[in-house]
Chain A
Amino acid sequence: MQPFQPEEVIVEPGSESSPIYRNLKAALPQVPFIVMDEVALEHSHVDFSARDFGSAKKKLLLTRHKGEFLKKCPGSDGQVCCNYFVINFASNCSMDCSYCYLQEYLADNAALKVFSNVDDLLKEAEELLSKHRCFFFRIGTGEITDSLALDPYIGFAREVVPFFAEQPNVLLELKTKSDCVDGLLHLDPRERIVVSWSMNPQEVIDLDEHGTASLDKRIQAAHRCQKAGYRLGFHFDPMIEYPGWERDYERMLDQIFATVNWQRISWLSMGVLRGTPGLKRTMRDRFPRSQLLTGEQVLCPDGKLRYFQPLRVEMYRKMLGWIRRGAPTVKVYLCMESKEVWEQVFGFAPSCAKELGGELANFGF
């Protein structure tokens, strides 16, 4: 995995007192830190627009988050939803996957940002969790950033894991393509933290997951987390179809189940490569040689391109077979798929988001 080495860290006044600032200063002693207010930032040379999405990742902006940290995962129109909440502690990602939806989602706000006011985040979470003790929350931090890729520099996990580990009605999922787990290993997750990996065969990682950890390193990191008491999750998402994909995905699953104890896996998810036509245009500009552009994808009713349904259902069914061979009773769900696809893959579909969310929460234990 490529170490994170920003050209500069731009600090909004008021953020210097935060633990994130202190951690960054200690981890990046050679990087210039520039304190600059919003007005000065707007008139500076710093270009955070999407004109060059890759360049936006080379600078880090440390700023206060002004809105709400906790949001309901938006899901996708007409698709089965898993009733998930997200915490946005950062925005954008230091890695650069060619299929990443952030290229479109953050096109007008591409800056790589970390929010310094973790105390506000924890306060908001405390209010929500204590107000609804009868509801069990699944919350993730990997929606618009990678949960752990920046952790060696910002130390976010050690600021929040102890808090969530104490809560009776939450599972916090830290989702990553990195192997940056050192900051987690000395903390006590108390069955409240799931560390999960987005997984693809090394062949896909080499071609389309730029700057991420290798498959071996992700699996080894998962093994270390499991030994430290964490529950695990794996997301086979996005699954990529190419000649020989079956061999590579089957081998990857065998490798995972040979290394980690599947009985301590909270959930696995599957989802095929998907994106809007707008994202595809961006991919053409940024990664014109990527073979991902050549898949047999069709436009679905929710406005996203996916492999045509019989093809992707066959992919899911094959994956499920290999998963069941290694982990017979682990909870598996589909991400952003219709009820029809659920029926074709599993023979059933959850009746509502509450049902799927409840099941996943139960499987967390």
Chain B
Amino acid sequence: MSWDRADRDALCQLAVRLKIGENHLRDLMDWLEEIALRDQSEIHTLLRDKVITEIESDPRFGRADKLKRIKEQVRRVRFPRLAQTEDSIRARIQELKLHPEIKVTVPSGLEGGSLRVEFSASNREQLKNQVAKLAEAADKGSLQEIFALLAGRTTEGVL
């Protein structure tokens, strides 16, 4: 797809302001092109989206943080159902109310269909506690819903 001048200028200005490196720029270009193709929209209009302009003008964020957030926002628009599924899983992990030392994550892109559980303990008692908390969490409905989401079964019409 060839970019017209308004699209080129819009991305170029953003790239200069945020000093975007080559790899990030390539990701952004691909995603923006694909969104424009899918939604029959224009790239410069996508870059003028309220969420993006607010991130860019937010004085609380540094340059790297702005780039990270803008990239995440463009990714969310490019992969809306993936982002929604990830959000749903994240919300259910929160509902498990696990001890901060127990970390539950899902693979990037949700590929593999499994949860990763990490925890550490510095003595036997701690370990027993954490295992007990984990066993308690395993009985909760939220965990079942996480596995259902990973297996493409909708619990809230996510997919």
Question: Which residues of A are at the interface with B, using a C-beta cutoff of 8 A?
Answer: 284, 288-289, 291, 293-294, 296, 298-301, 308-315, 317, 338, 340-341, 343-344
B residues within 8 Å of A by Cβ? 1, 34-35, 37-38, 79-82, 85, 108-114, 149-154, 159
Given A289-B37, A291-B37, A310-B152: A340 touches B109 (CB 8 Å cut-off): no
Min C-beta distance of A309 to chain B, whole Å: 5
Q: How far is the CB of B56 from chain A (nearest CB, A)?
A: 25
Q: Are B81 and A309 in contact (CB under 8 A)?
A: no
Question: Can you list 21 A-B pairs, Cβ within 8 angstroms, ordered by A?
Answer: A284-B1, A293-B34, A294-B37, A296-B79, A296-B80, A298-B79, A298-B109, A301-B111, A308-B82, A308-B111, A309-B109, A309-B112, A309-B150, A309-B152, A310-B85, A310-B152, A311-B81, A311-B152, A317-B152, A338-B112, A344-B113
Among residues of B, the one whose C-beta sits closest to the C-beta of A314 is B152
Partner of B82 from the list A293, A294, A298, A300 (CB cut-off 8 Å) is A298
Q: A338 CA to B107 CA in the complex, in Å?
A: 15
Separation in Å of the A333 CB from the closest CB of chain B?
18
B110: contacting residue among A293, A309, A317, CB under 8 A: A309
Least CB distance from A291 to B in Å reads 7
* Contact between chains at B151 and A311 (CB < 8 Å): no
Residues of B within 8 A of A310 (CB): 85, 110, 113, 149-152, 159
Chain A's nearest CB lies how many Å from the CB of B114?
7
> What distance in Å separates the Cβ of B113 from its nearest Cβ neighbour in chain A?
4
Interface centre among B38, B80, B85, B151 (most CB of A within 10 A): B151
Query: Which chain B residues border A312 with CB–CB below 8 Å?
Result: 152
Distance between Cα atoms of A343 and B114 in the complex (Å)? 12
B126 vs chain A, min Cβ distance (A): 32
Q: Is the CB–CB distance between B151 and A308 below 8 Å?
A: no
| B81: contacting residue among A294, A296, A313, CB under 8 A | A296
In the bound complex, what is the Cα–Cα distance between A296 and B35 (angstroms)? 11
CA gap between A314 and B159 in the complex, in Å: 8
What residues on A are CB-neighbors of B108 within 8 Å? 298
A301 to B1, CA, bound (A): 28
B79 partner residues in chain A, CB cutoff 8 A: 296, 298, 308
Specify which chain A residues have a CB less than 8 angstroms from the CB of B81 in the assembled complex: 296, 308, 311
CA distance A344 to B152 in the complex (A): 8
The answer to whether A309 and B113 touch across the interface, beta carbons within 8 angstroms, is yes
Instruction: Output the least CB separation between A49 and chain B (Å).
Output: 23
**Contact at A309–B37, with CB atoms within 8 Å?**
no
Which chain A residue has the least Cβ–Cβ distance from B151?
Answer: A344
Instruction: Please judge, given known A-B contacts A310-B149, A311-B159, whether A340 and B114 are in contact too, CB under 8 Å.
Output: yes
3 shortest interchain CB distances as A-B pairs = A298-B109, A314-B152, A313-B152
A288 vs B111: C-alpha distance in the bound complex, in angstroms? 27
